[in-house]
């Protein structure tokens, strides 16, 4: 009798920008990914990992303000506003990465410190390769396209620099999946959303081709959250907290394609879900819940632990019997605070 091969397990891990405040964050990324995927007595191990990263803490907000500051000066010619936005973006990134690299000197051993100048060279080279001159804006681009280019660079640079630090300093190898090649978005009145009826099928078809090659490499896959592309290939942005949507969409598409996706793990800077977000007392902590209850809590609180679109994506009923569970874990400790499903 031939034993039927079980489907490949893939855990989708999302790490929020608020979890990445300083140099200590890099070792926590490694430990949390390894803890999630190593072989042990849990329902989802051993497994492959897809890691969805948000931009470093505060970077998206700073880039958003930089764009608004440059673009609100309507008295200046368009070309001058473009140049101002571009220069503000460069200075914002430079200050952020200088802080992270300087901070790494406090959290690395003497041998690792010797490698940090190589990281500084990589960051400088990454900026040169990706910002000048190919990043210069086309005069025909509208305001929304320029905004998307500026803000999305935070996610792209965070993933590239994080992967380089993890490999060069800590010996943790990974592979890269470009979010723009898999997340196709459809425009709406106010934002760009994933169209679940059309674009989820496109995402599924793209992953069907791409994922087997990545699995063959047997390394964690890192992908940017929050960004995608329209049907013409232009960069687009998901709603704020869109990295959660990226993770949920990838998990759902993989499950529809036949992979076993037993868990989407959302790492946050809080310990799970609370009934009362303002107090967050121990008696308000909710260790288990269904998606329906989570949506009630999200809609009833100013603090959104997950974007409502995430809940819709993961709980949506289809012809296939999908059972995608989620976990909300505290990044600093790695402790799972709330299980959802």
pLDDT of residue 279: 66
What string of DSSP letters covers 245-313?
Answer: HHHHHHHHHHHHTT-B---EEEEESS-SEESSTTT--GGGEESEE-HHHHHHHHHH-SS-SS-HHHHHH
- Judged against a pLDDT cut of 80, whether residue 168 lies above it is answered with yes
Contact of 246 with 192, CB cutoff 8 Å: no
pLDDT band at 319 (very low <50, low <70, confident <90, very high): low
In a domain, 227, yes or no: yes
Residue of 141 and 307 predicted with greater confidence:
307
Question: Could you check whether the bond before residue 91 is cis, i.e. omega within 30 degrees of 0?
Answer: no
Q: For 318-335, what is the mean pLDDT?
A: 79
Q: Is 281 left (phi over 0), alpha (psi -120 to 50) or beta?
A: beta
How confident is the model over 302-312, as a mean pLDDT? 77
Which position has the higher pLDDT, 2 or 222? 222
Least confident of 34-43, 82-91, 187-196: 187-196
Q: What is the pLDDT of residue 190?
A: 45
Alpha-carbon distance of 291 to 244, in angstroms, equals 15
Q: Is 235 domain-assigned?
A: yes
Most confident of 148-152, 180-184, 230-234, 291-295: 180-184
Give the lowest-confidence range in 89-103, 171-185, 228-242. Answer: 89-103
- Please report whether residue 296 resides in a domain: yes
Q: Would you list the DSSP string of 39-100?
A: SSSSTT-S-EEEEEEPPSTTHHHHHHHHHHHHHT-TTS-HHHHHHHHHHHHHHHHHHHHHHH
- Which pLDDT does position 278 carry in this prediction? 66
**Whats the size of the chain, residue-wise?**
341
Residue 93 located in a structural domain: no
Lowest mean pLDDT, pick from 45-49, 65-69, 189-193, 305-309: 189-193
Instruction: Look up the CATH number of the domain holding residue 335.
Output: 3.40.1160.10
Q: Please give the mean pLDDT across all residues of the chain.
A: 81
How many domains in the chain?
Answer: 1
Q: For 223-250, how does the pLDDT look when each residue is reduced to its tens digit (9 = 90+)?
A: 999 999 888 888 888 887 789 999 999 9
Mean pLDDT of 102-124: 88
For residue 322, what pLDDT is reported? 66
Residue 76 in domain: no
17-21, 133-137, 218-222, 298-302: segment of lowest average pLDDT: 133-137
pLDDT tens per residue, range 126-146: 887 877 655 556 666 777 888
pLDDT at residue 8 above 70?
yes
Give the pLDDT score at 24.
82
In a domain, 52, yes or no: yes
C-alpha 253 chain-centroid distance = 16
Position with higher pLDDT, 127 vs 221: 221
- Tell me the pTM: 0.88
The C-alpha atoms of residue 198 and residue 305 are separated, in whole angstroms, by: 27
Domain ranges, residue 308: 10-59+154-340
Q: What is the pLDDT of residue 104?
A: 86
Report the pLDDT averaged over residues 79-89.
74
Tokens of 104: 């790494």
Q: Does any domain span residue 148? A: no
Does residue 80 carry a pLDDT above 80? no
Residues above pLDDT 70, as percent of the chain: 83
First to last CA, the chain: 35
Distances (CA, A) of 242 to 7, 34, 74, 202: 28, 25, 29, 18
Is position 68 within any domain?
A: no
């Amino acid at each position: 009798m031939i034993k039927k091969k079980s489907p490949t397990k893939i855990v989708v891990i999302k790490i929020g920008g608020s979890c990445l405040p300083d140099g200590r964050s890099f070792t926590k990324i490694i430990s949390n990914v390894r803890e999630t995927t190593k072989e042990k007595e849990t329902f989802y191990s051993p497994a492959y990992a897809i890691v969805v990263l948000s931009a470093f803490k505060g970077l998206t907000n700073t880039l958003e303000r930089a764009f608004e500051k440059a673009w609100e000066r309507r008295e200046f010619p368009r070309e001058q506003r473009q140049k101002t936005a571009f220069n503000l973006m460069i200075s914002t990134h430079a200050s952020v990465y200088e802080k992270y690299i300087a901070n790494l000197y406090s959290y690395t051993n003497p041998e690792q410190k010797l490698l940090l100048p190589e990281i500084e060279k990589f960051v400088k080279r990454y900026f040169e390769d990706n910002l000048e001159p190919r990043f210069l804006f086309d005069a025909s681009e509208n305001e929304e396209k320029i905004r998307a280019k500026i803000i999305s660079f935070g996610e792209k640079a965070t993933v590239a620099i994080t992967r380089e630090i993890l490999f060069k300093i800590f010996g943790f190898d990974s592979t890269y999946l470009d979010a723009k090649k898999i997340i196709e978005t459809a425009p709406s009145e106010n934002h760009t959303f994933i169209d679940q009826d059309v674009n989820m099928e496109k995402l599924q078809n793209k992953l069907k081709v791409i994922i087997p090659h990545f699995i063959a490499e047997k390394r964690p896959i890192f992908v940017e959250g929050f960004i995608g592309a329209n049907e013409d290939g232009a960069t687009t942005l998901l709603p704020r907290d869109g990295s959660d949507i990226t993770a949920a969409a990838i998990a759902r598409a993989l499950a529809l394609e036949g992979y076993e996706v037993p868990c989407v793990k959302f790492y946050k800077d809080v310990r799970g879900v609370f009934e009362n977000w303002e107090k967050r007392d121990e008696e308000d902590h909710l260790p288990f819940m269904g998606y329906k209850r989570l949506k009630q809590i999200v809609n009833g609180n100013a603090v959104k632990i997950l974007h409502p679109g995430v809940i819709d994506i993961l709980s949506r009923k289809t012809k296939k019997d999908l059972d995608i569970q989620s976990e909300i874990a505290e990044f600093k400790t790695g402790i799972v605070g709330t299980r959802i499903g």
